[in-house]
């Protein structure tokens, strides 16, 4: 049975196809050879090159990234088996006017309070180290009533208040913690294990509750950035810090959250 060849190419590259017994097509620097006995028809498309070669979308806004070592790695890949962090991957698609990485290596959410810079858009990636240090999760009421009782929820209120003190018109994206385990006993053997009476998912749940209360979009790394089966293939250690594949997944998730708040 004859087949159809569907090609995206520049029209000037084709000549005398109908008379040739075989022909070659050059497409985006690649060579495609065909035998006319096996080709029924050729469909030409004027489409441009793939999206991967397009220029990033310009975003007239300053982005401040708050987070743990997972975010901190973006400027420190040279010392680790990484080519680039998730923020750099985001900016290959969304070119912000300015980017500032204020993540703290090994930091819990409390470290973000003093790290808040001046920006238009903030992302907060925290929860995994709070689990590692067994910080009490708290309740939504701890957040809404600003109880300052040392729980994760109460500290989140301090971070958000600090952001809006710096910029009352700020836009904020909350990121749930990426699933993780191990790391030389720092975390349990499975992401779903309990540690000192606390589950990692508890932090993800309270982050979603705070986001719903404040009408913030969520980059749900916990739900979408890999589970127990995949983490060892998406991390360069066991299994806390993302490798290149893991960073790209995080970038894809965050880009979707950005699209919800960026102007057309």
pLDDT > 70? residue 34: no
Burial of 254 (0-12, 13-18, 19+ CB in 10 A): buried
The model's confidence at residue 37, banded by pLDDT at 50, 70 and 90, is low
Does the pLDDT of residue 9 top 70, yes or no?
no
- Give residue 41's pLDDT: 55
- pLDDT band with cut points at 50, 70 and 90 for residue 61: very high
Stretch 52-80: mean pLDDT: 93
pLDDT band of residue 54 (cuts 50, 70, 90) is confident
Contact 71, 102 (CB under 8 A): no
Give residue 86's pLDDT: 98
Contacts of 39 (CB under 8 A, 6+ apart): 2, 3, 4, 5
Q: Which of 41-45, 192-196, 231-235 has the lowest mean pLDDT?
A: 41-45
Distances (CA, A) of 60 to 96, 98, 199: 6, 9, 39
Mean pLDDT for the stretch of residues 238-243: 95
pLDDT digits (tens, 9 = 90+) for 178-229: 999 999 999 999 999 999 999 999 999 999 999 999 999 999 999 999 999 9
CA angle 195, 196, 201 (to 5 degrees): 45
- pLDDT for the residue numbered 125: 98
185 φ/ψ sector (left φ>0, alpha ψ -120 to 50, else beta): left
pLDDT of residue 263: 79
Structural domains of the chain, ranges and CATH numbers in brackets: 3-51 (no CATH), 55-259 (3.40.50.1110)
Residues 6+ apart with CB under 8 A from 72: 101, 103, 104, 105
- pLDDT category at 167 given cuts 50, 70, 90 is very high
Per-residue model confidence as pLDDT tens digits over 100-118: 999 999 999 999 999 999 9
């Amino acid at each position: 049975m004859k087949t159809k060849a569907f090609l995206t190419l520049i029209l000037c590259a084709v000549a005398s196809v109908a008379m040739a017994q075989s022909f070659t097509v050059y497409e985006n620097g690649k060579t495609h050879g065909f035998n006319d006995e096996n080709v029924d028809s050729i469909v030409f498309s004027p489409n441009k090159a793939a999206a991967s070669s397009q220029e990033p979308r310009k975003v007239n806004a300053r982005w401040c990234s708050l987070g743990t070592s997972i975010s901190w790695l973006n400027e420190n890949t040279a010392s680790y088996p990484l080519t680039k962090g998730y923020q750099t991957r985001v900016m290959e698609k969304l070119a912000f006017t300015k980017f500032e990485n204020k993540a703290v290596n090994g930091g819990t959410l409390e470290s973000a309070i003093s790290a808040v810079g001046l920006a238009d858009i903030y992302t907060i990636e925290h929860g995994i180290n709070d689990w590692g240090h067994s910080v009490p999760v708290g309740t939504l009421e701890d957040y809404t009533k600003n109880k300052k009782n040392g729980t994760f929820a109460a500290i989140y209120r301090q971070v958000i208040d600090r952001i809006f003190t710096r910029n009352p018109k700020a836009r904020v994206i909350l990121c749930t913690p990426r699933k993780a385990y191990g790391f030389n006993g720092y975390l349990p053997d499975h992401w779903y294990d309990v540690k000192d009476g606390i589950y990692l998912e508890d932090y993800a749940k309270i982050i979603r509750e705070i986001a719903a209360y404040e009408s913030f979009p969520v980059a749900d790394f916990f739900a979408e950035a890999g589970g127990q089966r995949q983490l060892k293939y998406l991390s360069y250690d066991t299994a806390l810090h993302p490798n290149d594949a893991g960073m790209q997944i995080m970038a894809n998730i965050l880009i979707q959250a950005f699209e919800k708040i960026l102007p057309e």
